Amino acid sequence: MSIVFIDPMIIRSLNKSKLRKKILYFLYKIYPHGVYLSEISRHVKSDPSNVLGCLRGLNGRYNGHFSLIELGLVECKEINGIKLYKLTEYGKKVVETLMDQDSDYIHSLRW
């Protein structure tokens, strides 16, 4: 078992937004596959603009410094003009580290 350092800013970001956490856990569930924004929105039951805010940051409402992409947890790959979002290897390790602490939360999610 290896020890993973989790930046305190990641913990703060995830604790401040249930939606960020939901997105992260959904991407973990489908790892290593990437998925469209609309697909993420449907699975986490949230508006695409809110999901995009969590992934990339959005004006003043979602701080880009705390976005899942900026924190290195999610990456965006563009293939033939289509953007796919995927958990990074570091994001996968962070989720696995947090899963024990969040087991009650994970079980409460309705996919």
Domains with residue ranges and CATH for the chain? 11-102 (1.10.10.10)
Residue 4 region by backbone torsions, left for phi larger than 0, else alpha for psi between -120 and 50, else beta: beta
What SS3 class is residue 62? strand
What SS3 class is residue 76? strand
Whole-prediction pTM: 0.84
Note the pLDDT tens digit of each residue in 42-86.
Answer: 999 999 999 999 999 877 666 677 899 999 999 999 989 999 999
